[in-house]
Chains A and B, each alone.
Chain A
Amino acid sequence: MAKSSTTIAPVFIDGTALKIPTFSLLKANGHLTRGASHGLLDEALAQKIYGDMIYIRTLDERMVRAQRQGRLSFYLTCTGEEASVAGTVAAFKPNDMIMSQYREQVALRFRGFTTEQFMNQLFTNGKDLGKGRQMPVHYGSRDLNFMTISSPLATQIPQAAGYAYGQKLAGEDACTLCYFGEGAASEGDFHAGMNMAAVLKCPVVFVVRNNGYAISTPASEQFISDGIAPRGIGYGIKTIRVDGNDILAVYTAAVAARKIAVDEQQPVLIETMSYRLGAHSTSDDPSGYRDADEEQKWRSKDPISRMKSWLIKQKWWDETRDEAIHKLFHSEILEELKRAEKEPKPELANLITDVYKTSPVILTEQLSTLKQHVAKYPDSYRMHGENPQW
């Protein structure tokens, strides 16, 4: 604890003394703020990041449509927050572990997750790396050091602290990158994980995407504090607030954050200020809880068009390339979508494998009983037909 001075008057601290600035380099029109520089982001990386953001925007739009068409049970978009995620993941190394929530698909894309892999998971077919066990968007990839997503909120936060502690003990030149939203920061696991990471000096970078909403609950009903950043400071964690729609600021902050985590072996918190432009999920309709003006205001700050304007000013991009890349992604996604939905579903035996490393006898018995039953009523348990009846 820092040394505290004493006072003879009762002083209550209300937090207004703590002013947390927002780090920002790129204005909404794509111009650099006076005196700012794009610093570390070079042409090739900038183009890759931009391409990945376009890809995910295209994927999200297409998959929402597919859900509306009844081809997919559920979907969650990253729309509006692409820069918060792409700008952070780009600052990390491939052997850094990513432990995310469920709105960070652009991080997977950045690491090389293929369209085929996205689609296999979304359509829960037999080629899904997760063996068809989780709802759409619960991706995971051992090869890409992207920990499989789970639905319960904030559970990855203390896990990320522990994972990072393991990296530290192993003496790896690596850290853990942990994503979550401002709503998840109300969960007990957030507080448990932040405090443990700080006390045990874990090389983990926490990225909280403050997107304004947890399903329908606005940030104003989620917390009274000045965002999430003061909590990081409260736990003794180096903290920065960034304009989450500003790819240059996000990337610059993330590079510095990783350096602190790895060189100084301690956690960092980045709060990215952004907006969830889409619905929470395909099961949600925001028109019931927020007005179109608000959405319009944020649409004008869109991170992708902002980056595009800047890239064009840099002469690192042009409209012809832009059009071509959109077309390319669109056709690739559509083609893979059509393929993935026709792939056979996972085998019945997948019901019991991986519960334990080796299936206990009781599970093999249950599977064999089930197989006999299914064989008796094959039509009622069909998985490969046009209208599978689960």
Chain B
Amino acid sequence: MVDAETTSMTLLQAINSGLDTAMAADSRVICLGEDIGSFGGVFRATSHLQQKYGRERCFNTPLTEQGIVGFAIGLAAQGNTAVAEIQFADYIFPAFDQIVNEAAKFRYRSGDQFNCGGLTIRAPYGGGIDGGLYHSQSPEAYFCHTPGLRVVIPRNAYQAKGLLLAAIRDPDPVIFFEPKAIYRASVGDVPTGDYQLPLSVAEVTQVGTDITLLGWGAQMIQLDMAAELAKEIGISCEVIDLRTLLPWDRETVAASVTKTGRLLVSHEAPLTGGFAGEIAATIQELCFLSLEAPIVRVTGLDTPFPLMLEKQYLPDHLKIFETIKASLEF
């Protein structure tokens, strides 16, 4: 924790405060994206930034995700810190080539003559807002398959500001997914000043002995609720927020699973090819002799994201609770 003045903020206000802090500290920090100018973004994450720092440093772009990311890569390569907003993670795919083939490989392919490490791409992700197919997706696994990127997802307001500032100042390109379902619901004390939280370091948010529950972003709320239910029937859960998915903190997870003997990984994204699979494969390698039960995944279904049946689709605390019990009974 940081010993500093704090104020109660929503996750969204914490993002706004993080951007404000970064722009105030460094005049080469530039924000760009659709509707982020005087309007302040469709979620208001960039409120007042244009008014405060001018149109040159916080500006609307034409409606072109590949253009936004390509442009931001150029800005970063020129020595700026570019913070690009993609309005919804669902719309990041036109920029997939710029992210995967360009940003991620910029330093490597030039033999470190050039880099675009000043690039951060922010995008709201995940379900919970009745957004259906195209305002709900969790595309993190696509990017976790790309060396050269960092993928970061905060779980609450305090984490959001500290991780965002670290992401913006990290010397490698970062994709920063924001859990929009809890943009306003997540409220907490956040330092008004400058602070950073470490990247590629997971955090044990609840110590326990019987099973490790691992997730990230908004899913941490479901894990906490499931852990409460489990506690009522005498099961002690250790809860871990992975925070950075790429490169991820294997040591913290492996240490926990070595102790508990069980691992449950949960994400909203579909099961097949989801990042939980990667975690399961790694942890069974590292903790094979400590495991008391198969590593289990509680995820979305292998379908597009639904609309009316969103509640049924999502890997909520009840599904997690049932899976915890099954793991303990294995």
Residues of A within 8 A of B (CB): 97, 99, 128-131, 133-134, 138, 140-142, 147-148, 150, 152, 155, 157-167, 169-170, 176, 188-189, 191-193, 195-196, 199-200, 353-358, 360-362
Contact = CB atoms under 8 A, between A and B. Distances in A.
B74 A130 contact: no
Given A129-B111, A169-B56, A163 B74 contact: yes
A104 to B, nearest CB: 16
A158 B98 contact: yes
B180 to A, nearest CB: 25
B280 to A, nearest CB: 16
A147 B78 contact: no
A200 to B, nearest CB: 7
A166 B97 contact: no
A140 B112 CA distance: 10
What 4 pairs between A and B have smallest CB-CB spacing?
A162-B74, A158-B70, A192-B67, A166-B78
A142 B106 CA distance: 13
B107 A357 contact: yes
B168 interface: no
Nearest to A176: B74
Contact of A188 (B66, B105, B109): B66
16 contacts: A128-B111, A130-B109, A133-B108, A140-B110, A158-B66, A162-B71, A162-B72, A167-B78, A192-B66, A193-B70, A195-B62, A195-B67, A196-B61, A199-B62, A354-B107, A356-B150
A162 B70 contact: yes
B73 to A, nearest CB: 5
Given A150-B101, A196-B62, A159 B115 contact: no
B104 to A, nearest CB: 9
A152 B101 contact: yes
Among A152, A159, A200, the one with the most B-chain Cβ atoms within 10 Å of its Cβ is A159
A160 B74 contact: yes
B247 A356 contact: yes
A354 B172 CA distance: 10
B64 interface: yes
A140 B69 CA distance: 21
Contact of B171 (A99, A142, A353, A357): A357
Nearest to B102: A155
A185 to B, nearest CB: 15
B67 A193 contact: yes
Given A129-B110, A160-B74, 13 more contacts: A97-B78, A131-B111, A147-B114, A150-B101, A159-B70, A159-B102, A163-B75, A166-B78, A166-B80, A192-B64, A192-B70, A199-B62, A356-B150
Contacts of A360: 200, 247
Contacts of A193: 67, 70-71
Contacts of B94: 188
Contact of A158 (B74, B108, B110): B74
Contacts of B273: none
Nearest to A128: B111
Given A150-B102, A160-B74, A162-B73, A134 B64 contact: no
B79 interface: yes
Contact of B78 (A162, A191, A199, A353): A162
A192 B200 CA distance: 33
B102 A354 contact: no
A166 B74 contact: yes
B60 to A, nearest CB: 9
Interface in B96-134: 97-98, 101-102, 105, 107-115, 117
B77 A133 contact: no
A186 to B, nearest CB: 14
B82 interface: yes
Contacts of A161: 67, 70-71, 74
B147 interface: yes
B139 interface: no
Contact of B113 (A142, A170, A361): A142
B147 A189 contact: no
B97 A163 contact: no
A163 B114 CA distance: 12
B296 interface: no
B250 interface: yes
Given A161-B71, A166-B79, A355-B108, A196 B102 contact: no
Contact of B73 (A159, A199, A354): A159
A357 B64 contact: no
Nearest to B111: A131
A356 B148 contact: yes
